[in-house]
């Protein structure tokens, strides 16, 4: 809810330059890298349930505190801390799905989890835009409260996984568990994923500021357009994946998703006679890019890992997203300030075409999955 509006919060509420907004987003990404790495390690050590509970409740409390801070230096430090705590949730959540899912339903369970996430994104993005148009500080208060509620929801509603942890600990004795950094194919996959996510994230970090400053779209409408992403994914993704998942190789669909993403940025270079319409179409295109690419990326990570190292593989995948949050917004704001937004859109299109070619050259075969 709050993170997509951080750049607007810094520039419009705190009246800081766009480069400071890029710094805040980059610091959030830096904290995310550390948090994802620690979250994956702690997930394999103490279990996914306590990590999710701690991340949600403490992270939510920090968001409440964030709403009271206006000093920029303090805000920078707190951004790193919040990102560290919040991002530890992702690898734990990734591992939880594999533990809770019935045999044979793991892939569908990941799709169902993405549906839940994107329903939250649809509601959060739209509600976030409405709240931001009223009061930016209230945005962080509501976001924090929802995180705390989610943490207590996990504590009260989801079953304990002690038996699951005990079984894993018994099985892992005397076994040399493969680490993700020892998997050369996985490392290549992560590098390409980082390029893709670096470009993908800019739609939700830099583009809202472009819509506001250049196309003069108000915060409420920006929130509705952002919410369109989650709504489309929630309605269409599971149906689409069930229909196409066995038709072609995963790489084929990842490439299609990358190309859809490139087309969404190309559309931003069109004349802005009807900016809201063009912005909405661009969001639809990147949403289809997401629906084609991300489920098959998730499936690949799941297939490369096993019950002994899934937390660390999930952490590696999450770190690639976090790295994208560091280099993407900071680089995006820098390029936009230095050479203009059109130069940024062209750069993103070129990177995405290179990424599509890289996935095509990456030989991901079922026999490679460990």
pLDDT tens string, the chain, 370 residues long: the values are: 777 777 778 887 788 887 788 788 778 878 888 888 888 778 877 888 899 999 999 999 999 998 888 888 898 999 999 989 998 898 888 888 877 877 767 667 777 887 787 777 777 777 887 888 888 888 889 999 999 999 999 989 887 766 555 555 554 454 455 676 777 888 889 999 999 999 998 988 789 889 988 888 888 888 889 888 878 887 888 888 878 877 888 888 999 999 999 999 999 998 777 899 999 999 999 999 999 998 888 777 777 776 666 667 777 887 787 788 778 877 888 898 889 999 999 999 999 999 999 998 875 544 444 4
Domain boundaries, the chain: 3-368
Which is nearest to 113 in space by CA: 94, 140, 126, 99? 94
H and E: helices and strands count for the chain:
15, 0
Alpha-carbon separation of residue 48 from 24, 34, 363 (angstroms): 29, 17, 32
Please state, in angstroms and rounded to a whole number, the distance separating the CA atoms of residues 310 and 333. 35
Beta carbons of 96 and 52 less than 8 angstroms apart? yes
Question: What does the alpha-carbon distance between residue 247 and residue 269 come to, in Å, rounded to a whole number?
Answer: 34
Cα angle 131, 264, 359; round to 5: 120
Asked whether 37 and 68 are in contact (CB, 8 A), the reply is no
Instruction: Give the domain 3-368 fold.
Output: Growth Hormone; Chain: A; (1.20.1250)
Residue 136: Cβ within 10 Å count? 20
């Amino acid at each position: 809810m709050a993170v997509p509006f951080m750049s607007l919060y810094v520039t419009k509420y705190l009246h800081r330059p766009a480069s400071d907004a890029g710094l805040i987003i980059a610091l959030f990404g830096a904290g995310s890298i550390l948090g994802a790495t620690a979250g994956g390690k702690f997930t394999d050590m103490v279990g996914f349930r306590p990590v999710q509970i701690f991340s949600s409740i403490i992270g939510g409390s920090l968001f409440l505190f964030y709403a009271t801070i206006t000093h920029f230096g303090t805000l920078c430090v707190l951004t790193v801390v919040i990102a560290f705590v919040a991002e530890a949730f992702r690898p734990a959540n990734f591992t939880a799905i594999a533990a809770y899912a019935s045999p044979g339903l793991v892939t569908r369970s990941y799709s169902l989890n993405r549906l839940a996430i994107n329903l939250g994104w649809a509601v959060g993005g739209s509600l976030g835009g409405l709240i931001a148009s009223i009061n930016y500080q209230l945005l962080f208060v509501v976001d924090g409260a929802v995180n705390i509620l989610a943490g207590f929801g996990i504590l009260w509603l989801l079953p304990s996984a002690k038996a699951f942890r005990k079984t894993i600990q018994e099985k892992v004795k005397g076994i040399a568990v493969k680490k993700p950094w020892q998997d050369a194919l996985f490392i290549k996959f992560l590098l390409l994923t980082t390029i893709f996510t670096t470009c993908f994230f800019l739609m939700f970090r830099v583009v809202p500021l472009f819509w506001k400053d250049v196309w003069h779209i108000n915060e409420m409408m920006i929130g509705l357009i952002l919410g369109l992403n989650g709504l489309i994914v929630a309605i269409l993704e599971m149906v689409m994946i069930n229909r196409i998942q066995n038709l072609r190789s995963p790489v084929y669909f990842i490439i299609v998703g990358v190309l859809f993403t490139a087309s969404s940025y190309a559309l931003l270079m069109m004349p802005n006679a009807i900016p809201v319409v063009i912005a909405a179409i661009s969001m639809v295109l990147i949403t289809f890019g997401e629906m084609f690419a991300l489920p098959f990326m998730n499936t690949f990570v799941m297939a490369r890992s096993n019950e002994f190292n899934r937390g660390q593989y999930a952490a590696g995948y999450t770190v690639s997203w976090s790295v994208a949050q560091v280099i993407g917004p900071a680089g995006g704001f820098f390029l936009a300030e230095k050479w203009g937004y059109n130069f940024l859109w062209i750069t993103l299109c070129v990177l995405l075409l290179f990424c599509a070619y890289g996935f095509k050259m990456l030989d991901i075969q079922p026999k490679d999955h460990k």
